[in-house]
């Protein structure tokens, strides 16, 4: 596939690494959401800037050779949701609302210049790209964690409004759940509890290394009681559901404290019973649905990753080259290596 020269306000990224997201596995399995195949997956991208149009260098404040991460969104910057930084909801880049929207990792190759994903040696940079410089010292696999960590920062601190000393419960210790653990610990939460199932034991150990006070394997037969017994905490000021399990929604409301907040961040892709409106009213709960991140959260995440305060290397469990993309996706889908956390694709080869 040819790489055409970029326009005045565009650029080309030489891809160093790309994280594998659960949404990639969903698309690979045929859940296209109206998008057209073929397409190049991959939207957790770090790389080095290659050829740049003069306008792009000025607009992004970068130069050829700079090391950057690129968000997946290609927003309009003019609509009401863009003005508040909620780029994921902009119709120009939200494929849920608009199947023809532009978004890295989800745009078909039929849209010129075709190279819209991070599972590639090169990626086109649209004029409206969101580009952030990242320090040279950060290992490539850890750099791709900017997506789950920044999502966690926004969901916990902005949407979840966590306060000092508050109790935080994270349901689901995948990469986004672990991002929430980091954000809660960083924000000064008094107790951070990560919850998973029996196959999540290794992930829960990592959660504790990243700042969780408890990593709990919940008893599916007595879910709420097992968490309360293991932690000595009856309810939580902030509960985040970062799972794909429909049953987690009800547990989140049950474990939320009166006046607490429930953040729903996990797509279920199936019918969910509820919501339990009487519980919401009786407890005066605040319920927030979340997608993606805002610019400030990305800046905080990049600072956290670069600070080396957290052992993010523990999250980076698997790496593959382009020939191993099928296996990388199956690992994320938990068909293989169920204890994997963050999987990275390295176009130039593993260890380079």
- The Cα-based distances of 74 to 95, 129, 240, 332 in angstroms read 11, 5, 27, 25
What does the pLDDT read at residue 284?
98
CA angle 337/338/339 to nearest 5° reads 95
Instruction: Give per-residue pLDDT as tens, 54-93.
Output: 999 999 999 999 999 999 999 999 999 999 999 999 999 9
**Encoded tokens for 135:** 């320090």
Instruction: Give per-residue pLDDT as tens, 136-194.
Output: 999 999 999 999 999 999 999 999 999 999 999 999 999 999 999 999 999 999 999 99
What does the pLDDT read at residue 350?
76
Sheet of strand 286-289: strand arrangement: 214-217, 191-196, 167-171, 236-241, 256-264, 286-289
- Which residue from 226, 206, 215, 219 is spatially nearest to 169, judged by alpha carbons? 215
CA angle 233/239/245 to nearest 5° reads 110
pTM of the model: 0.96
11-145+315-345 architecture in CATH? Alpha-Beta Complex (3.90)
- Which residue from 307, 301, 296 is spatially nearest to 158, judged by alpha carbons? 296
Query: What mean pLDDT do residues 7-26 have?
Result: 97
Q: The dihedral of CA 90, 95, 100, 101: what is its sign?
A: positive
What does the pLDDT read at residue 97?
86
For residues 25 and 325, give the distance between their C-alpha atoms in angstroms, rounded to a whole number: 11
Give the CATH superfamily of 147-289: NAD(P)-binding Rossmann-like Domain (3.40.50.720)
Query: What mean pLDDT do residues 305-327 have?
Result: 98
Query: What mean pLDDT do residues 4-31 have?
Result: 95
| Domain boundaries, given as residue ranges, for the chain | 11-145+315-345, 147-289
**Confidence band of 51 (pLDDT split at 50, 70, 90):** very high
Question: Taking 70 as the threshold, does the pLDDT of residue 96 lie above it?
Answer: yes
């Amino acid at each position: 596939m040819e790489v055409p020269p970029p326009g005045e306000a565009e650029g080309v990224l030489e891809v160093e690494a790309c994280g594998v997201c659960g949404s990639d596995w969903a698309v690979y399995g045929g859940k296209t959401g109206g998008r057209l195949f073929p397409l190049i997956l991959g939207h957790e991208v770090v790389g080095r800037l290659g050829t740049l149009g003069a306008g792009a260098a000025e607009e992004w404040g970068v130069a050829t050779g700079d090391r950057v991460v690129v968000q997946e969104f290609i927003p309009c910057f003019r609509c009401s949701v863009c003005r508040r930084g909620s780029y994921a909801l902009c119709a120009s880049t939200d494929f849920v609302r608009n199947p023809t929207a532009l978004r890295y990792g989800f745009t078909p190759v039929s849209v010129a210049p075709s190279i819209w994903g991070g599972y590639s040696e090169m990626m086109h940079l649209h004029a409206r790209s969101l580009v952030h410089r990242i320090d040279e010292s950060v290992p490539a696999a850890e750099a791709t964690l900017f997506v789950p960590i920044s999502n966690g920062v926004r969901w916990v601190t902005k949407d979840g409004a966590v306060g000092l000393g508050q109790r935080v419960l994270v349901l689901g210790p995948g990469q986004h759940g672990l991002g929430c653990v980091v954000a809660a610990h960083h924000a000064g939460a008094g107790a951070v509890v990560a919850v998973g199932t029996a196959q999540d034991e290794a992930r829960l150990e990592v959660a504790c290394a990243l700042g969780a006070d408890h990593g709990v394997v919940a008893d599916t037969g007595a879910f709420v009681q097992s968490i309360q017994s293991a932690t000595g905490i009856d309810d939580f000021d902030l509960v985040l559901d970062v799972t794909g399990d429909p049953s987690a929604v009800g547990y989140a409301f049950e474990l939320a404290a009166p006046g607490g907040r429930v953040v729903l961040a996990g797509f279920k892709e199936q019918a969910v019973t509820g919501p339990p409106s009487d519980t919401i009213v009786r407890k005066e709960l605040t319920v927030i649905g979340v997608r993606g991140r805002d610019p400030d959260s990305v800046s905080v995440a990049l600072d956290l990753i670069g600070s080396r305060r957290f052992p993010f290397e523990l999250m980076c469990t698997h790496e593959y080259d382009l020939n191993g993309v099928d296996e990388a996706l199956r690992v994320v889908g938990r068909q293989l290596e169920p204890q994997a956390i963050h999987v990275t694709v390295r176009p130039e080869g593993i260890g380079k």
